[in-house]
Structure 1
Amino acid sequence: MALENSRDDRRSSDPEYAANLRRATLASSVGSALEYYDFALYGLASALIFGELFFPALGAGAGTAAGFATYAVGFFARPFGGVIFGTIGDKLGRKGVLIATIGLMGASTTLIGVLPTGEQIGIWAPILLVVLRILQGLGAGAEQAGATVLMAEYAPVRRRGYFSALPFVGIMIGTIIASIVFFFLGLVDRQIVHDWLWRLPFLASILLIAIAIFIRLRLRESPAFINLEKNEQVARNPLAVSFTKSWRTIVRGIGLRMAENGGSAIYQTLAVSYVTKIVAAEEWEGPLAIAIGAAIGVFVIPIAGALSDRFGRMRVYRIGSIIQLVLAIPAWWLMSLGSMWLIIPVLAITYGVGVNVMLGAQCAALPELFGNRARYIGVAITREFSAVIAGGIAPLIGALLLVAFSNSWWPLAGYVVVLSGITLWATIVTPETRARDLDLVTDAIDDSYDDLSSRPLPTVSRRQFKAQNRA
């Protein structure tokens, strides 16, 4: 650990390292913005218009459920993308994979914008939608894992939580953009939206693709992977390493993601559909609430990351899960009352605070949990399998619960409580990872007490940090 600390001290005064750190932050942030622009855009479209566009023969309720089913398909594709690209990332490096995934994901989203509808080509419309959603999921399956690993491996040790959280502000920016788009679509004549206007937000993805690829082409490989190659420790089969050596770590990581990813999907899609179609709120209210919640997340995520440097990843993560658990029942009850003055702030706070406190702590925690030989694929498997279990099927399960319980709000609140309880348990059984040496090839679960005690003290203040760098 002392070796990494001394190396970290040298990095902090190295202009080239500082430039690469800024470039890595920008590259990861733009990719995160594109992924979650796509994520939020597709989720909102599934909640509000895809049922009528691609499944017109099914009727309103079944059409919405079918739209959510295509939403879930993308999540089922993500683990395969995580395994494929995660393996490549651990064998050949992070940079090339990040260029490939952003291109695949963005191109798929753009092509959704040119698809014919169900009225135009019948059954082929949903088939093509599902194909593009699968391709989108394959790219997204390694995109966020790669951005997470890259930033953790670039970031200064004592401030890794803060720097690793910065690219995830891109998640909020992407969500804000998508939510604002649907806010304005809700103000336009519905027939115009259904005729052609819905296509423009998907076609706009091509701009983010171009920017992201340009930035990533100028990016250097991560320091941790360079050291892995230098020491000839690159795994021949990272997938085998992850399932034989890291399965306990993966289980804990999935547990950590249940409330964060599940809560994010529930509030961004299911809650929007619930307040719009069941409570009969205006179509713009849900997207506006999500946009406000994402704006709150812009501040909450880096603050939570910084707090995790000071107090520990699991302690901050635990607070986020408790916030979401405590808010679940009152939040859904208040939304069920149908008042705009309740729906917007309640949905904004539950998404903006509860979910994003956990996300801020997670940014550095997941890469720190895994050893260097199978970190990319380990994080990818953890993120994407949990994305299926927690996030991908959440809106579909919610829609089925609404049908089974006559549109009652309490099963949805109970669903959030269960997910939050799982994550709360996971924070208790997962080892603390703050400031762990990312050159270690073993997982955090195998660390000894001496390993834990050798880590640096919690981060100092910004003023002290700058003073130390000058010294």
Structure 2
Amino acid sequence: MLVTTRTKTKLADMDGAVVEPEQLRRATLASSVGSALEYYDFYIYGLASALIFGPLFFKPLGESGALIASFATYGVGFAARPFGGIVFGYIGDRFGRKMVLLLTIGMMGFASFAIGLLPTFDQAGLLGAVLLVTLRIVQGLGAGAEQAGATTLISEVAPPKRRGYFASLPFVGIQLGTLLGAGTFALIGMANKSVLEGWLWRVPFLASIVLIIVAVFIRLRLKETPVFQELEKHKNVVKNPVGELLRHSKKNVLIGIGLRMGENGNSSIYSTLLISFISVKEGVFPGDKFIGPVGLLIAAGFAAVMVVTFGALSDRIGRVKVYRYGALFQAIFAIPAFYLVTLGNVTLVWAVMVVGIALGVQSMLGPQCPLLPELFGSQYRFTGVALSREISAVFAGGFVPLIGAAFLAATGNSWVVLAVYSLVLALISYITTFFTPETAGRDLLSLEDAK
């Protein structure tokens, strides 16, 4: 067992090793910038899939076929994420959290920048599509551990009694990335179509180089987490964290996957599928590629505040209770939300996006930030968080736009597809909360899983 000692710290309610306030600030900043880059990449790729990539890379397939093919490349990135989670989860539990955060940010940033240099179908035929899929896989491998690393890092540094608050702060970076991505596309969407599809679509991808430089600079100055330092000190670092996880934590991995279905799935529905739904030829606002990104921009501003609010609330009343009622709200909201979208009122569309993303999704994401790391023992925590997040991301995130686009095409763009999809995913998370142990304030130095 891991032997721990209680030492006086410079953070009043922190147990275990000494954590300087400066270390906590750096960890929060490093995690936030990484989250911003990941979700900037996530949203510019998702928006590009919904609005631009079809005619650019899959032109011969026709409008509906090109859209489905475009969303398929989006899904490929998610399919790669569990493999990234396994590889980098192993590295994070075996050699430390900091190393992984440097590797993943480099991979994701390189892939995004390179997408901005790709030749289109008109320029190089299918070569552009092949390279797009390849870079999307690289993106997915890096993203498969980025959020797990950020979540694990900040949770292991934060004071236990305020872990929900601090662990949710890096996820403000998600909203920053969303604001940057959606804002960029809202601006370039105002350009002439020939200019947009000619060269302007490349700018958001090439601009990611700025975030890469900032993130690498900050992460080079990070210290290793106190929990991993304690594992090394007492020689409790395991050689095969994946094997240990599968032996001891299968139940908690399944819990993590179930919890993520409502949050991650609805995030994808509102941020990609809904935008495609309202803008395609048969949509509510046919051919209007401006309304969706602007709605996403507004929703992200509210979500940046709400994710921290719900994270802090989980410190006061418990992770499970906040999560349960958040999932229930998302389920109840699903049918009226997507019906309202069909009424053709722009303000109503934006209101639905704000409520769905800022209240529905964030009420699950806020408590999820500390809850996932708290589910697992310290020896394989990184791997546990990574696999829980990324296996669920394949089904709830990656396949949602692809499957949803196919159903929308088959049903003549029926809003019921979105409503039922959102409802089912939210109910999966709601039911999962009844099998989830309460973890608020748990000692993360423990080798044991939460039970």
**Pairwise TM-score range, normalised by the shorter structure:** over 0.9
Task: Report SS of the residue matched to 1:338.
Answer: coil
Task: Report SS of the residue matched to 2:20.
Answer: helix
Q: Distance in 2 between matches of 1:7 and 1:420?
A: 42
**Structure 2 residue 150 is matched with structure 1 residue 135:** no
64, 68, 72: which one aligns with 2:71: 68
1:395 maps to 401
409, 433, 446: which one aligns with 1:440: 446
**Structure 2 residue 87 is matched with structure 1 residue 89:** no
1:12 maps to 12
Mark the CA change 1:433 to 1:131 in structure 2 (over 3 Å): closer, same or farther. Answer: same
219, 236, 241: which one aligns with 2:239: 236
Identity among equivalent pairs (%): 52
**Structure 2 residue 272 is matched with structure 1 residue 266:** no
On the 8 A contact 2:258/2:429 being kept in 1, the answer is yes
Q: Distance in 2 between matches of 1:16 and 1:79?
A: 31
9, 12, 35: which one aligns with 1:32: 35
Q: Distance in 2 between matches of 1:366 and 1:63?
A: 37
Specify every segment of 5 or more residues in structure 2 that has no aligned partner in the other structure, as ranges. Answer: none
Give the letter aligned to residue 332 of structure 1: F
1:289 maps to 295
**Structure 2 residue 54 is matched with structure 1 residue 80:** no
Q: Distance in 2 between matches of 1:379 and 1:170?
A: 19
Mark the CA change 1:103 to 1:8 in structure 2 (over 3 Å): closer, same or farther. Answer: farther
Task: Report SS of the residue matched to 2:181.
Answer: helix
Give per-residue Cα distances to partners, 1:156-212, cap 9 Å, x unaligned: 010000000000000000001100111112211111000000001000111100000
**Structure 2 residue 366 is matched with structure 1 residue 360:** yes
On the 8 A contact 1:297/1:352 being kept in 2, the answer is yes
Give the letter aligned to residue 273 of structure 1: S
Q: Distance in 1 between matches of 2:9 and 2:322?
A: 26
Give per-residue Cα distances to partners, 1:349-382, cap 9 Å, x unaligned: 2112100111011000000000001000000000
Please report how far the alpha carbon of residue 16 of structure 1 lies from its aligned counterpart in structure 2 after TM superposition. Answer: 6.4
Mark the CA change 1:80 to 1:387 in structure 2 (over 3 Å): closer, same or farther. Answer: same
Give the letter aligned to residue 360 of structure 2: G
1:218 maps to 221
Give per-residue Cα distances to partners, 1:412-454, cap 9 Å, x unaligned: 2011111011000111110000010101111102xxxxxxxxx
1:204 maps to 207
Give per-residue Cα distances to partners, 1:327-368, cap 9 Å, x unaligned: 100110011122212111112221121001110110000000
Give per-residue Cα distances to partners, 1:273-322, cap 9 Å, x unaligned: 00111112521110111111111111101110110000000101112111
Q: Distance in 2 between matches of 1:249 and 1:5?
A: 27
Please report how far the alpha carbon of residue 25 of structure 1 lies from its aligned counterpart in structure 2 after TM superposition. Answer: 0.3
Q: Distance in 1 between matches of 2:68 and 2:354?
A: 24
Give per-residue Cα distances to partners, 1:5-32, cap 9 Å, x unaligned: 9547543399961000000000000000
On the 8 A contact 1:182/1:287 being kept in 2, the answer is yes
On the 8 A contact 2:76/2:137 being kept in 1, the answer is yes
On the 8 A contact 1:172/1:297 being kept in 2, the answer is yes
On the 8 A contact 1:160/1:435 being kept in 2, the answer is yes
On the 8 A contact 1:34/1:209 being kept in 2, the answer is yes
2:127 maps to 124
Q: Distance in 2 between matches of 1:59 and 1:350?
A: 32
Q: Distance in 2 between matches of 1:222 and 1:19?
A: 13
Q: Which moved more, 1:333-342 or 1:101-110?
A: 333-342
Mark the CA change 1:37 to 1:375 in structure 2 (over 3 Å): closer, same or farther. Answer: same
159, 169, 174: which one aligns with 2:162: 159
1:101 maps to 104
Q: Distance in 2 between matches of 1:275 and 1:261?
A: 21
Give the letter aligned to residue 64 of structure 2: G
Task: Report SS of the residue matched to 2:370.
Answer: helix
Aligned length: 443
1:309 maps to 315
Specify every segment of 5 or more residues in structure 1 that has no aligned partner in the other structure, as ranges. Answer: 446-471
On the 8 A contact 1:8/1:157 being kept in 2, the answer is no
Give per-residue Cα distances to partners, 1:244-277, cap 9 Å, x unaligned: 1111000000000000000001110000000111
On the 8 A contact 1:4/1:437 being kept in 2, the answer is no
On the 8 A contact 1:304/1:357 being kept in 2, the answer is yes
Q: Distance in 2 between matches of 1:338 and 1:67?
A: 26
In the TM superposition, structure 1's runs of 4+ consecutive aligned residues that sit over 6 Å from their partners are 13-16
On the 8 A contact 1:401/1:412 being kept in 2, the answer is no
1:383 maps to 389
Mark the CA change 1:61 to 1:7 in structure 2 (over 3 Å): closer, same or farther. Answer: farther
**Structure 2 residue 116 is matched with structure 1 residue 113:** yes
Give per-residue Cα distances to partners, 1:387-409, cap 9 Å, x unaligned: 00111100111111112222111
Task: Report SS of the residue matched to 1:435.
Answer: coil
On the 8 A contact 1:5/1:157 being kept in 2, the answer is no
Task: Report SS of the residue matched to 2:289.
Answer: coil
Task: Report SS of the residue matched to 1:11.
Answer: coil
Q: Distance in 2 between matches of 1:185 and 1:390?
A: 29
